[in-house]
Structure 1
C-alpha cells in the first residue's frame, strides 16, 4: 500500500509491551540518543509457528556476542502486524525462558504490511545500528557479524546500509527447479527494478538489512510504501542521498509458510514499483532531511 509518508501511529500504537513485566510503556523515538548497540526489528504477521525458532537462534547468537564483548547491548522489537493468531502470546512465552533478553512488542491495530511494520519498528529503535530481519529465520543470524563488518568498511560520515544478498544462490540448478512462470516473473521483476528503481544491487528483497542510526533517521521518516516492495523505496532513498550501500552474501534457505502469492503479489509489486518511480520523478514525493540528527 502507498501512503503519504509513514502513517502516524494510533494512540495505542504509541506504546510497546515489555515482554517481561507485561507493562505498557511509551515508545522511544529514532531521534532520541541511542542507548543500545543494536536494534533488531522483526515484522511479524501470523508468525506463531515460525517465530520461536527464529528468536532462539537470534538470542543465542546475541547473548554469546554480549558475553564476548560486555560493551555490546541489544534489543529485539517485534512488530505484530495485526496478526490473527497468537503471535504476541508466542513472543511473551518465549520471553519467560529468556529473561535476560530485552524484548519489546509493538502491536499494530490493523495490518499495514511488512514495510509498514518495519517502518514503525525502526521509528522506535534505540540502537546505534538498526537491523531489519524476517520472522521466518530464513537468513542465518550468525551472518550478522560479516554484515556489520561490511557496513563499517563503507560507512561515511555516519551513513551506510549493508544489504544481505542471496544472489550467489541463483544457480543453473536452482533456475531449472523453478517453474517457467516463476522464472519469467522473477526475470521480469529484476528488469523492472533495473529500469525503474535500483541499479548496482542484485538482491533488493532479502529481509536482512543493516542501517546506521543516522541513515535510518533519513530513510524511515520518508517511507511511503507499506507492502512487499518497500525495500525498493528504502534503497532508492539511500541512493538519492548518496548514502553508501554494500551487498553481502548471506546463508539463506526457504522456510515453509511464505505468505507471498506469486502471481498476485508480483503484479502488485510491479504496479507499486512504477508508482514509486513516478511519484519521485513528478516531485509528488520528496526526501526531507531532519534538521537535527542525534548520533
Structure 2
C-alpha cells in the first residue's frame, strides 16, 4: 500500500460570496446504507449516503477487486460520513462486470452499473446523473491519488463553501512520482488550457474530483464530451459561470500500467478545446443560470517602456523555448520530427502568448483574450514556417542528422522567430493603448 503525507487543502481562488449561502449537507450516520442508496420506492431520505464515490472502469479485471476493497476499507475505517461506492463499468469485455457484481453483493454500500458504450465521461455522466447523494466524487481505479486527500476534497462541498473540488498534482504541497514524459505532457496541456481558455485552475486531468449534486444537475446537461475531455469541459464551464472551485494538493504515484494513449488523447483534447472555445466565444452556453454574483472591477495598466518589455519578453521566451524543446523531445519518437515540432511549437506558442499577455504587456482578465490568441496563432505560423523550413533544409543537406543537430537548428530558428514575434506582439497583438477594464473574477 502506498504511504504519503496527508495533503493540506488549499483554495487557489475564492470569488465574491454568493447572494445566498450554498446549502450545507446533512450529516447522517457514517456507516454505508444497507440499501442501494437511491431512495427508490419511497425510501427515507436519511438512507441516501452523503458521498457517492464513482470508480469508472474499462477492462480492469486485474486491479478492480484489490482497489475497490482497499477504498471500501479506508472509507469504513476513517471517513466520518455515510458513503457509497459506485463501480461504473463502461463496455468492459473481460471479467470486470462479474467482479463488480460480486463486490456489490459482498461489500455494504457498494453498487455497480453497466454501460454499453465506452468512455470515462459517459460513465461519470451516467453515474452522477442517477445519484441522489448530495456530494458526488470520482477517482481512478488505480488509486494513484493517496486516499488521505479524500476528506479534504469533499469537506468544502459538504459545508457548502465550494461548488466543485479537484485534486491537483501541480500545486505547491503536492508530491508526485511519475516519469518525465507524463510530467511534460501534463504541464504543457494545462499551460495550453490557461493560454487558450484563460482558466484559473491548475490541473484539469487529475482523476480525483468532486461536485455538489445540485451543481452537477445544472452543469452536466452542458457538457458534451463523453471521453477524457469531460473533466476539462466541466471545469471550464463551471469557472466561466463563476462557481467556486476548491483545489487540494495531492500525493500521487503514477501507474506504470496506465493504458492512456497519450497522442490520440492529446489530439482529442485539442479538438475539445477548439469546440469549447467556439461555443464560449459564440455565447452558445447558457452560463447566466449558473453564474454567481461577480466581484469588483479590476483595472490592469499597460506597463510602458520598451526596455522593461524586452526583459520580460526575453524571460518568457526562454521559458517557452525550453518548453518547446522538451515537448519536441517527448513527442518525436511517436510522431516524427515535423509533426513533433508543429505540436510542440503550437503548445509553447499558446502558452507564450498567455504569459506575454499578462507579464510583458500587462493585460489581465478575459476581455479580448480570443482575439489576442488568434493574432498570436498568426505569429505562431510565422515561427512554424521558420522552424519547419530550417528542419527541412537540415534534412535535405544532412540526411543522417540526429536529434542533436535538429535541436541546435531549432534553437537558432527560434531566435529569429522570437525577434519577429516580439515585433508582432508589440505593434499588432498588444498595441500600446489605455487600461483594459474587466468585470468579475479573472484567472490570475
Q: TM-score range by the shorter chain?
A: 0.7 to 0.9
Change in CA separation of 1:170 and 1:250 when aligned onto 2, cut-off 3 Å: closer
More strand by share: 1
Question: SS of the residue aligned with 1:225?
Answer: coil
> Are residue 86 (structure 1) and residue 95 (structure 2) matched?
yes
Q: In the alignment, is the contact (CA less than 8 A) between 2:171 and 2:202 conserved in 1?
A: no
- Give 1:94 deviation, angstroms: 2.7
Please give the alpha-carbon distance, in whole angstroms, between the structure 2 residues aligned to 1:273 and 1:216.
21
Higher gyration radius (CA): 2
> Are residue 103 (structure 1) and residue 103 (structure 2) matched?
no
User: Which of 40, 63, 74 is 2:53 aligned to?
Assistant: 40
TM norm structure 2: 0.51
Question: SS of the residue aligned with 1:84?
Answer: coil
Question: SS of the residue aligned with 2:251?
Answer: coil
Q: In the alignment, is the contact (CA less than 8 A) between 2:166 and 2:246 conserved in 1?
A: yes
Partner of 2:380: none
Partner of 1:230: 230
Q: In the alignment, is the contact (CA less than 8 A) between 1:164 and 1:247 conserved in 2?
A: yes
- By relative contact order (CA 8 Å, sep 6+), the higher-ranking structure is 1
TM norm structure 1: 0.74
Please give the alpha-carbon distance, in whole angstroms, between the structure 2 residues aligned to 1:149 and 1:26.
22
Q: In the alignment, is the contact (CA less than 8 A) between 1:280 and 1:286 conserved in 2?
A: no
Please give the alpha-carbon distance, in whole angstroms, between the structure 2 residues aligned to 1:95 and 1:107.
12
More helix by share: 2
Q: In the alignment, is the contact (CA less than 8 A) between 1:52 and 1:90 conserved in 2?
A: yes
Q: In the alignment, is the contact (CA less than 8 A) between 1:163 and 1:210 conserved in 2?
A: yes
Can you give the 5+ residue segments of structure 1 that lack an aligned partner in the other structure? 1-19, 291-295
Please give the alpha-carbon distance, in whole angstroms, between the structure 1 residues aligned to 2:60 and 2:288.
34
Task: Say how many residue pairs are matched.
Answer: 252
Question: SS of the residue aligned with 2:252?
Answer: coil
Question: SS of the residue aligned with 1:145?
Answer: helix
Partner of 2:149: 143
Change in CA separation of 1:226 and 1:33 when aligned onto 2, cut-off 3 Å: farther
Q: In the alignment, is the contact (CA less than 8 A) between 1:123 and 1:221 conserved in 2?
A: no
Please give the alpha-carbon distance, in whole angstroms, between the structure 1 residues aligned to 2:59 and 2:39.
23
Can you give the 5+ residue segments of structure 2 that lack an aligned partner in the other structure? 1-33, 291-444
Partner of 1:167: 170
Question: SS of the residue aligned with 2:98?
Answer: helix
